[in-house]
Amino acid sequence: MYIYKNEKNEVITFSENELNIPNLKKVKVDNIPENPTNYLYINGVFKLNEEKIKRNIIAKKLKEIEENYKKAITQPYIYNGNKFETDEKSLDILNKVIVALPDNGSITWRTADNKMVTLTKQDLLIIAQELLQRNQTYFLKRCELKDKLKSLDNLEDIKSFDTSII
């Protein structure tokens, strides 16, 4: 295994087959660490590139926050003992029905657990309002988590950071 040290002293590895790459400063090293791209190679010594590790873990944790947020806002919603879907398509239909339904109107709705229930426009408005409040809470939690994560500097704190929304 060979290494190349770029201008930031970050380590790039390459095999013997890649030795013909022009303009690479090639160095033969015997004791290359298990994951050499997480190291800096300075004066013949490998030093852990903690900043790069932090950036990678933060990127992974930010992705986890987004995934957890999406799961949170699509959790079924319970209203009057009935479970309702909250995915984007269901919310779009809910909004269209609210607009189209007369003030004193009602509609038969299939719940997430396949029950047929009758809902008034007032019921639909309550569901929409409570979902909006719930999702706003999750949105604010997501923003708070992202800001907190980006402010961390200690590697152990970053590694142990909880990305849960709910």
pTM: 0.75
Task: Over range 8-12, report the average pLDDT.
Answer: 66
DSSP the chain: -EEEE-TT-BEEEE-GGGTT-TT---EE-SS--SSGGGEEEETTEEEE-HHHHHHHHHHHHHHHHHHHHHHHHTS-EEETTEEE--SHHHHHHHHHHHHHS-TT-EEEEE-TTS-EEEEEHHHHHHHHHHHHHHHHHHHHHHHHHHHHHHH---HHHHHT------
Task: Over range 88-117, report the average pLDDT.
Answer: 96
Contact yes or no for 106/120 (Cβ under 8 A): yes
> What is the tens place of the pLDDT at every residue in 45-79?
667 778 888 999 999 999 999 999 999 999 999 99
pLDDT(44) > 70 = no
Strands 11-14, 39-42: pairing is unpaired
Give the pLDDT of residue 60: 97
- pLDDT higher at 122 or 13: 122
pLDDT(84) > 70 = yes
Distances, alpha carbon 67 to alpha carbons 74, 101, 142, in Å: 11, 34, 10
Task: Over range 38-45, report the average pLDDT.
Answer: 68
pLDDT(17) > 80 = no
Give the pLDDT of residue 49: 79
Give the pLDDT of residue 26: 52
Domains of the chain: 2-48 (no CATH), 52-159 (1.10.287)
Tell the burial category of 90 from Cβ atoms under 10 Å away from its Cβ (0-12, 13-18, 19+): middle
